[in-house]
A and B are shown apart, each in its own frame.
Chain A
């Protein structure tokens, strides 16, 4: 292995200046791209980890009061909450997006030809355009001038790392420019908002699935049949109600609670309709 490394090092030293420069430029470029991808990955991972914990705020109480008793019920409850939360989070961004789309559609239909193109492209004229000269474009320019000289190389290869910068003309009096700007800015903001909420939803669903497997795990590590004289009772977690290990014995009510009956029916219905 060490010998192989030495061979590569030797080959690098033997290479000419141009090859060394090219190699170093590619190395720097690769590290730069890695940094960008790493930063995006880290940001998304941080956002998802932070938001995944939200399920704890409601699921702990549901478990404490034994409203969910097994992994399936746990996961169904998480989906029940999250379906509603994602709808609540993105309903206004989506409504704005739909209304904006409808407005643009009507505007483009009633205005004169070429408006659609202007609405969708004028925003980009605010930014500089970069163009790298390639072997092909330089040769075409030389041919157009009438020169017989040609640059040797593959047609798509850039001849320089520094691009040509040019600006497109904009017309400040054109209302389409402002409509285009508003459309793209709103689109970017809403896209970011919806994307973040979609990632949060996914993170919570994943955490719900993971936790449903571990929350109801039974552990025999701390339990021995012969060492215990009383039933192995977990402390009831509701501090307001029960302070000690306590078995709650059911008391017969005089009247049945219709609300529980209704709730049971509704939950059965909602579980049956659970598509997402």
Chain B
């Protein structure tokens, strides 16, 4: 019963707020299209610099994750190790 009530409550909300929802929807579409063009630009730059844009293996976070898995430790530890190694070298 509560499901039916919830359905009609949402339906009423959707009906009366439909202009607002429609505006949001248009905004989401515009944002997606803008992100597409931004992505195309970044892909083009990435192609020139041989870095790529939407390939998962080139993601900075994925590379960090891979490094952490290889070293069997967390990233903050790796950073600390690296910092100390830098200091030791200097």
The interface of chain A, by Cβ under 8 A from chain B, is: 33-35, 37-38, 40-42, 45, 58, 61-62, 64-67, 69, 77, 80-81, 83-88, 90-91, 94, 194-195, 197-199, 201-202, 236, 238, 240-241, 248, 250-257, 259-261, 263-264, 266-267, 270, 275-276
CB interface residues, B 1-59, toward A, < 8 Å:
7-8, 10-15, 18, 25, 28-29, 31-36, 38-40, 42-43, 53-54, 59
Interchain CB contact under 8 A, A263 and B36: no
**Closest residue on chain A to residue B13 by CB atoms:** A41
Interchain CB contact under 8 A, B39 and A80: no
With A41-B10, A86-B36: A69-B78 Cβ-Cβ less than 8 Å:
no
**Closest residue on chain B to residue A270 by CB atoms:** B60
CA distance A236 to B68 in the complex (A): 13
Instruction: Kindly list chain B residues whose C-beta atoms are within 8 Å of the C-beta of A66.
Output: 74-76
The interface of chain B, by Cβ under 8 A from chain A, is: 7-8, 10-15, 18, 25, 28-29, 31-36, 38-40, 42-43, 53-54, 59-61, 63-65, 67-69, 72-82, 84-86, 88-89
Interchain CB contact under 8 A, B68 and A67: yes
CA distance A10 to B29 in the complex (A): 50
CA distance A253 to B78 in the complex (A): 10
Interchain CB contact under 8 A, A248 and B78: no
Please classify the interface of chain B as helix (H, G, I), strand (E, B), loop, or mixed, using the class held by over half of its residues. helix
Please classify the interface of chain A as helix (H, G, I), strand (E, B), loop, or mixed, using the class held by over half of its residues. helix
Instruction: Kindly list chain A residues whose C-beta atoms are within 8 Å of the C-beta of B85.
Output: 252-257
With A37-B14, A94-B33, A194-B29: A263-B73 Cβ-Cβ less than 8 Å:
no
Interchain CB contact under 8 A, B81 and A37: no
CA distance A37 to B53 in the complex (A): 39
CA distance A20 to B69 in the complex (A): 73
Interchain CB contact under 8 A, B7 and A42: yes
Instruction: Kindly list chain A residues whose C-beta atoms are within 8 Å of the C-beta of B34.
Output: 276
Interchain CB contact under 8 A, B63 and A263: yes
Interchain CB contact under 8 A, B73 and A84: no
